[in-house]
Amino acid sequence: MSEPFDCDSCKESLYGRKYIQVNDVSHCVPCYDRLYANTCQQCKELIEHNSRELYYEDRHYHEHCFRCSHCNRSLADKPFTCQEDALVCNDCYCNEFSSKCVACGKTVMPGSKQLEYGGCAWHEECFVCCGCEQPIGAQSFIPDKGEYYCVPCYKGRFAPHCAHCKESLVQGGVTYRDEPWHKECFLCTGCKVQLAGQPFTTRGEDPYCVKCFSNLYAQKCSACDKLITGFGEGKYISFEERQWHQLCFKCSECSVSLVGAGFFPDGTKIFCKSCNAK
């Protein structure tokens, strides 16, 4: 008498039936699917033994369920990505999530060369100078009222010219006597130090730093004998051939300020009305 040949799970005879062995243990097909088949992530049904199964990030799918969540096209053997647990084909992803080139209106495909500026994107070949219409690529460029220029074109069309060297002034610089200057061209007439960002004064049309102007042209205060530069000490008082710092212009006797008041000169001294009457 032959030994029984039964399914290990349901114990039904396997004679004349299709069966599957797992680790030398035999199972009928329904039991095998129930015990070992994975559940499809999409339709939530078992992926039976005779179905083609696709696997992605710990998830299992029937081949016919492995589709783009947007256009429903099969993703088998196609490039795709995952957005918030949803499968998306490459075309749908690009249409929905990729930038659009502001020049040609087409999608800037992931991985392609592109340029981004001011929240906008261009294909590298579409980002061209509005002057010479050549691709700008990795070169420097200058935006102007929604248009973009390579540096040579911008200099030729729009850039002001330095009053000193007459070369184009693209950015930065200073304005002196209503004319533009490069910072490196705007220098003290005396010592040639750059004047941009520091106090300066002029004599005629020539700019001077504080030190040079003081050494060359400043008068001395008749009271303290220090130079009157006009920087830091405020206004000054002038009478005949003499000058005073405003703070130094006071009575030689009682030291009361004489600014805005009558005074009486006496040689090198000045007196208020009260002290002069003594």
Judge contact between 130 and 148, C-beta under 8 A.
yes
Beta strand segments in the chain, E: 19-22, 25-28, 53-56, 59-62, 80-83, 86-89, 114-117, 120-123, 141-144, 147-150, 174-176, 179-181, 200-203, 206-209, 219-220, 227-228, 236-239, 242-245, 264-266, 269-271
**Of 148, 142, 144, whose CA–CA distance to 122 is shortest?**
148
CATH 2.10.110.10 fits 113-157, yes or no: yes
Structure tokens belonging to residue 222: 């008749």
| Percent of the chain whose predicted confidence (pLDDT) is above 90 | 11
Average pLDDT over residues 90-97: 76
Query: 225-277 maps to which CATH number?
Result: 2.10.110.10
Mean pLDDT rounded to a whole number for the chain = 85
pLDDT tens string 119-160 = 788 888 899 999 898 998 888 888 888 889 998 888 777 778
- Hey, what CATH topology would domain 159-215 get? Cysteine Rich Protein (2.10.110)
**Of 244, 205, 204, 209, whose CA–CA distance to 224 is shortest?**
244
Checking if the pLDDT of 234 tops 60, the result is no
**Of 62, 112, 110, whose CA–CA distance to 87 is shortest?**
62
**Of 203, 244, 250, 249, whose CA–CA distance to 226 is shortest?**
244
Average pLDDT over residues 47-70: 86
Per DSSP, the residues of 82-150 read EETTEEEEHHHHHHHHS-BBTTT--B--TTS-EEEETTEEEEGGG-B-TTT--B-TTS-EEEETTEEEE
Distance CA 198, CA 179 (A): 18
Fold agreement (113-157, 225-277) = yes
- The larger pLDDT score, comparing residue 42 to residue 91, is at 42
Checking if the pLDDT of 187 tops 70, the result is yes
List the domain boundaries for the chain. Answer: 113-157, 159-215, 225-277
Distance CA 109, CA 111 (A): 6
Report the predicted TM-score, pTM, of the whole model to 2 decimal places: 0.37
Checking if the pLDDT of 185 tops 70, the result is yes
pLDDT tens string 64-88 = 888 898 888 888 888 887 877 788 8
Average pLDDT over residues 210-217: 84
